[in-house]
Amino acid sequence: MKKTLARIVVVCIAITLLCVIAPNAHASQDSNNSTSSLTWPTINTSEIPRIASPSSGVTPPNSINSPNSTIPNPNDWNATPLPNANDNGSVNPLTYTPWLALDLWSNPNGQDMPASMSGAFTAVSNTIGNLVGSDVVFYLPLNVAYGTSPSSFVWFQFAVQFGANGAVNWYLYSFPNGNINDPTQTTVGLSYIIGHSYSFSFTTSGSNTVIFHIQDTTLNSTPWTYPTLVPGVSILYWPNGCFSPASAVEGDTTYATLTNVPTFSTTLGTAESTYYYSPSQNINNHEIIDQGVGSNVAIISSVYYWAMVPETYSSSYIGYTPLGTGASISNPSYLSGVPDTQCAGIYAPNSGSGEEIMVALSTSSGGNLYVDGYSDTGFNSLLYAYVYTGSSWVQVGSAVTVCPSGEFHIWMGTYSGSFTEVSVVGYDNPNPVDLSLDAVALFT
């Protein structure tokens, strides 16, 4: 959870993958319990569990399968090339080490993909702080590959690029067979006007043409279109390291923390059915995501909303403590820091047993509290969250039943007062618990 150099308010859930802890390998790997003088919160066993549901009509995607060997390796992801300063359609060689927060519009087996890719957003200003020099953050609402097979396709990315000193540019990229060293980079042929609304889509024509459309709907202007020849018009799932169909936030940044990240939301319509989320790991030419930025998904009345958001992740690990008998814990310190697919594990097979993990946040403001995590195969685990107000522990929301899936951002609830310490609890009441937990996050 260390770097060497994630939300739409209240109605957000997101999914992460590859935080796999083997169900039969639940041994305690951190020998010391809490180093804090804080007392631990008491579990209220009369709490009525509820399915993770940020608002009425919002439910977790229970159809998503548990992580397995078919999930693409996040260390092999392709990345968006950086445009040259002269903006003449050429790009720099991919020599940087980007971070990624990726939401893939499919389940982990490449099923339930959307039939098309389209969206709409209102343009926001570039308020991102701590970007210097050639630093860049890409907002990528549409990423999709069209073709006939993993060896015969074109990968498209619609990218809004935020640079230092408030710079904003937007591009359409296309990569034959996903070759990121041989892209076509085209500047979008409309002005990016802050506060204006835009609709955009990829459509197909005949058997070998994909057309990108974008329109300034505030001005009701003539759409800008860009056709591209492709080997076939079928959407492909993750061909040759290309995340498709997906939305993503990507960055190459000097500092490990970004400030003043705007909430930038895209309405993706009703084409999507399932999704899962994965952040990059600090390995194989990738970094882990910065503090202060994340991505989120909200599902309201079957409409999907995807956003880049400002987000604060836990900054340090305090300790853990067991509850009852028979529970075990692995790597509890992995709960601290930004999400990176490295997880703490809580295993509680006996009624009344559980484990508590405490972490600290660097901010003292209240807001919406999330835990990144999932239950392992065959378990529907109860998860509780508490915050320390300076004098007492207060439960945030109610107990949440976490379904087996790729890891997702679990909305625990909202607390309006100030706090810095958070206690996350997996508790058998009455069902056995097998949780993998990656990060704690706060979105104000």
Find out whether 207 and 226 touch, Cβ atoms under 8 Å: no
Q: What is the pLDDT of residue 3?
A: 38
Tokens 């445009």 correspond to: 83
The series of mean pLDDT values per 10 residues for the chain, 444 residues long, is 36 32 36 48 42 29 29 60 51 65 80 86 97 94 96 97 96 92 91 97 96 97 97 94 92 94 86 70 78 84 84 91 90 94 91 90 83 87 89 88 76 89 90 92 84
Find out whether 59 and 408 touch, Cβ atoms under 8 Å: no
Cβ neighbours of 441 (radius 10 Å): 29
Q: Which positions ≥6 away from 46 have C-beta within 8 Å? A: none
What's the token pair of residue 430?
A: 């009455």
Q: Which positions ≥6 away from 389 have C-beta within 8 Å? A: 417, 418, 419
The model's pTM is 0.80
Outline where DSSP puts E strands in 376-432. 381-388, 393-395, 400-402, 407-415, 421-427
Q: What is the pLDDT of residue 408?
A: 75
* 23/63 Cα distance (integer angstroms): 21
Tokens 């015969």 correspond to: 152
**CA nearest neighbour of 14 among 48, 58, 49, 56:** 58
Q: What is the pLDDT of residue 59?
A: 30
* 199/215 Cα distance (integer angstroms): 5
Find out whether 294 and 249 touch, Cβ atoms under 8 Å: yes
Q: What is the pLDDT of residue 280?
A: 80
* 157/397 Cα distance (integer angstroms): 38
Cα–Cα separations (whole angstroms), residue 371 to 82, 280, 378, 437: 33, 17, 20, 7
Q: What is the pLDDT of residue 171?
A: 96
Cα angle 186, 123, 302; round to 5: 100
* 346/341 Cα distance (integer angstroms): 15
Terminal CA-CA length for the chain: 22
